[in-house]
């Protein structure tokens, strides 16, 4: 029988674990049997409502002020689900809400099996887009009130019903198997996603031959390494091959031969005394207590060892660089994770033969009048449907955004050099971007924004926060490797996630940004090698 529970979350801000609303639909024999819709306050540590999120779902802080906290609603959610498989559209997000809200509140993940209708739709249908409204409409479900949690959960029910009918599936497990999608599983300390089974390899891992030329002084040389949890930077097979390259052996299970346990994606809350952890981690702790020297390291530390960098001091297990990374880890796409490290993107890629897009263009005269009421001045640019402004009102908007233009205005989508009236940092911004940030109540100046964001992130993470200073030479090297001229740090000392000032070598655009974002390259140039 087609029995399951559909679920959808809305979040208060960009931290995935900030739920403010949840919709649930219990389905029996393919028909909605019971619904629930709870509003809630996010966990205390992430209790802020971002204008962008509010603009999507319309839920404000005032609307949930009298509602219970996440940790108080979670038992009711788990009780409503019972033993059902949970079905969600983009289950990675919705199950991620549960995982990271629990991490923020330092409580264990509940045990849940789940299925993703977005993955089902990608395998079963050929559509231009796979967001929930498109899939529902493609299956003749009409228009849904997208970003209303209960309406979206009911949209999921429609998708499941139609796909099950297309494949003559009698239950949720048969539907998943017929389309070629795995049922995901979340439990205390472990997580496996709902994913396509196409091209998945089920062969047992085999230890590659050890590299006879491996550096005998390497940190992992001669050691036996075991992996637990999902790795974000590579597949398990590639991890084994990388171990062999540096002269280390890799094994499936933790035994008396194990020297190193590399912990992948796992809930930090399970590390407190008395919590349930993965079997491999539990076995490692037992062997440690028995006197066996097993080092438990993060994936980040493992990558440093592979790169030949020394581990200067023990790091806190699963210490996140910022709360966004804790909330929403960003693993590499599978096709990149399957590539050995030595064969990945050249840090000095060849220059794109096409010239970069120009920062500015020639100003186009117009006879349009400024859209501001009672203003009769000529507009600075022409437009068909959007508002346009005269020079004076453009300058007024920039003053609201605390910016002083250093270039003349040409077009809303052109880059204009400005100086922040708050921190005096000079950088290029588009006027269209400034208007967008004003509407969200957010600073246009990225130096101001990232400084404030980094401080709040470190306060939020507390003991988990990374506070190691970034050296000037490290920042210089990162900028240089990614095509930027390094203009200097914007904080002293410069800590993780603090902003830096750089200039793109190709288009000359000056930015205030984080080092972690520099690797994505200049959005203005968009070279074909990226």
What CATH class does 224-343 carry?
A: alpha beta
Percent of the chain clearing pLDDT 70 (strictly above): 86
pLDDT tops 60 at residue 316? no
Predicted structure pTM score = 0.49
Cα of 105 vs its chain's centroid, Å: 19
Q: CATH 3.30.420.10 occupies which residues in the chain?
A: 4-192
- pLDDT for position 53: 87
CA distance 249 to 258: 9
**Total length of the chain:** 530
Sign of CA dihedral 505, 510, 515, 518: negative
pLDDT tops 70 at residue 268? no
* 346-395 pLDDT per residue, tens: 555 555 456 777 899 999 999 999 999 999 999 999 988 888 999 999 99
Helices (H) and strands (E) in the chain, counts: 18, 17
- pLDDT for position 286: 83
Bridge partner list, 249? 224
Average pLDDT over residues 211-240: 86
- pLDDT for position 113: 94
pLDDT tops 60 at residue 324? no
| Across 184-198, 381-395, 405-419, least confident range | 184-198
pLDDT tops 80 at residue 345? no
- pLDDT for position 357: 76
Average pLDDT over residues 181-189: 86
What phi, psi does 262 have (nearest 5°)? Answer: -100, 120
pLDDT tops 80 at residue 179? yes
Bridge partner list, 39? 21
Beta 224-228 vs 249-251: how paired, if at all? parallel
The closest alpha carbon to 88, from 65, 66, 120, 58, belongs to: 120
Instruction: Please say whether the beta carbons of 88 and 7 come within 8 A.
Output: yes
CA distance 505 to 495: 25
* 30-82 pLDDT per residue, tens: 999 999 999 999 999 888 898 888 988 999 999 999 999 999 999 999 999 99
What is residue 164's three-state secondary structure? helix
The closest alpha carbon to 218, from 304, 341, 299, belongs to: 304
What phi, psi does 446 have (nearest 5°)? Answer: -70, -25
**Region for 90 from its dihedrals, namely left if φ exceeds 0, alpha if ψ lies in -120 to 50, beta otherwise:** left
- pLDDT for position 275: 55
CATH architecture of the domain 4-192 equals 2-Layer Sandwich (3.30)
Bridge partner list, 499? 514
* 9-24 pLDDT per residue, tens: 999 988 889 999 999 9
What phi, psi does 302 have (nearest 5°)? Answer: -60, -45
Instruction: Decide which of 525 and 389 is more confident.
Output: 389
DSSP-derived secondary structure for 86-137: EEETTHHHHHHHHHHHHHHHT-PPPPEEEEEHHHHHHHH---S--SHHHHHH
Helix axis angle for 117-124 and 172-179, nearest 10°, is 40
Instruction: Decide which of 422 and 253 is more confident.
Output: 422
* 289-303 pLDDT per residue, tens: 888 888 888 787 888
pLDDT tops 50 at residue 190? yes
| Across 97-106, 150-159, 198-207, 434-443, least confident range | 198-207
* 423-466 pLDDT per residue, tens: 999 999 999 999 989 888 889 999 999 998 888 878 876 776 77
Residue 311's pLDDT band, with cuts at 50, 70 and 90, is low
3-class SS string, 55-82 = HHHCCCHHHHCCCCEHHHHHHHHHHHHC
- End-to-end CA gap in the chain: 47
- pLDDT for position 332: 60
- In Å, the largest CA–CA distance within the chain is 83
* 463-487 pLDDT per residue, tens: 767 788 888 888 888 888 788 899 9
The CA-based dihedral angle spanning residues 88, 93, 96, 101, taken in that order and rounded to the nearest 10 degrees: -100
CA distances, 263 to each of 95, 270, 317, 332 (Å): 20, 12, 8, 17
CA distance 196 to 179: 8
3-class SS string, 181-203 = ECCEEEECCEEECCCECCCCCCC
Mean pLDDT across the chain, nearest whole number?
Answer: 84
CA distance 324 to 51: 17
Among the ranges 25-29, 124-128, 220-224, which has the highest mean pLDDT value?
A: 25-29
pLDDT tops 60 at residue 160? yes
What phi, psi does 79 have (nearest 5°)? Answer: -65, -40
- pLDDT for position 267: 58
CA distance 274 to 103: 16
- pLDDT for position 349: 53
Instruction: Please say whether the beta carbons of 400 and 438 come within 8 A.
Output: yes
């Amino acid at each position: 029988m087609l029995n399951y529970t559909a679920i959808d979350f809305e979040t208060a801000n960009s931290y995935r674990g900030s739920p403010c609303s949840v919709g649930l639909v219990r389905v029996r024999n393919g028909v909605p049997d019971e619904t629930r819709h709870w509003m809630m306050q996010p966990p205390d540590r992430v209790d802020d409502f971002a204008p962008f999120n509010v603009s999507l779902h319309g839920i404000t802080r005032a609307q949930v002020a009298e509602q219970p906290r996440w940790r108080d609603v979670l038992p009711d959610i788990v009780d409503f689900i019972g033993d059902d498989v949970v079905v969600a559209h983009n289950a990675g997000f919705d199950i991620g809400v549960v995982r990271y809200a629990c991490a923020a509140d330092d409580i264990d993940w509940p045990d849940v099996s789940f299925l993703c209708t977005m993955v089902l739709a990608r395998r079963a249908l050929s559509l231009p887009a796979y967001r929930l409204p498109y899939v529902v409409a493609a299956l003749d479900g009409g228009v849904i009130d997208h970003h209303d949690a209960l309406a979206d959960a009911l949209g999921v029910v429609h998708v499941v019903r139609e796909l099950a009918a297309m494949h003559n599936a009698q239950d949720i497990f048969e539907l998943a198997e017929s389309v070629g999608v795995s049922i995901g599983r979340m439990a205390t300390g472990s997580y496996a996603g709902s994913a396509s089974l196409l091209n998945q390899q089920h062969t047992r891992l085999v230890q590659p031959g050890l590299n006879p030329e491996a550096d005998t002084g390497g940190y992992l040389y001669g050691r036996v390494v075991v992996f637990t949890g999902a790795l974000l930077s590579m597949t398990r097979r590639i991890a084994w091959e990388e171990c062999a390259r540096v002269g280390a052996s890799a094994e499936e299970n933790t035994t008396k031969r194990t020297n190193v346990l590399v912990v992948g994606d796992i809930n930090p809350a399970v590390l407190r005394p008395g919590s349930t952890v993965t079997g491999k981690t539990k076995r490692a702790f037992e062997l440690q207590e028995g006197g066996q020297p097993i080092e438990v390291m993060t994936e980040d530390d493992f990558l440093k060892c592979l790169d030949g960098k020394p581990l200067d001091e023990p790091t806190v297990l699963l210490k996140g660089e910022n709360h966004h990374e804790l909330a929403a880890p960003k693993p590499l796409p599978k096709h990149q994770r399957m590539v050995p490290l030595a064969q990945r993107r050249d840090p000095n890629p060849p220059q794109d033969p096409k010239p970069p897009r120009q920062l500015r263009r020639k100003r186009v005269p117009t006879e349009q009048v400024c859209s501001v009421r009672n203003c009769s001045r000529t507009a600075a640019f022409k437009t068909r449907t959007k508002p346009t402004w005269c020079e004076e009102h453009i300058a007024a908007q920039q003053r609201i955004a605390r910016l002083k233009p250093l270039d003349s205005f040409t077009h809303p989508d052109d880059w204009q050099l400005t100086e922040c009236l708050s921190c005096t940092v000079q950088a290029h911004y588009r006027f269209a971007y400034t208007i967008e940030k004003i509407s969200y109540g957010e600073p246009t100046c990225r130096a101001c924004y990232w400084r404030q964001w980094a401080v709040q992130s470190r306060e939020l993470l507390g003991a988990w926060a990374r506070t190691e200073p970034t050296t000037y030479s490290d920042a210089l090297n990162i900028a240089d490797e990614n095509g930027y001229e390094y203009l200097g740090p914007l904080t002293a000392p410069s800590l993780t996630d603090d902003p830096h000032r750089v200039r793109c070598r190709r288009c000359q655009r000056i930015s205030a940004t984080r080092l972690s974002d520099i690797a994505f390259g200049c959005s203005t140039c968009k070279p074909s090698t990226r």
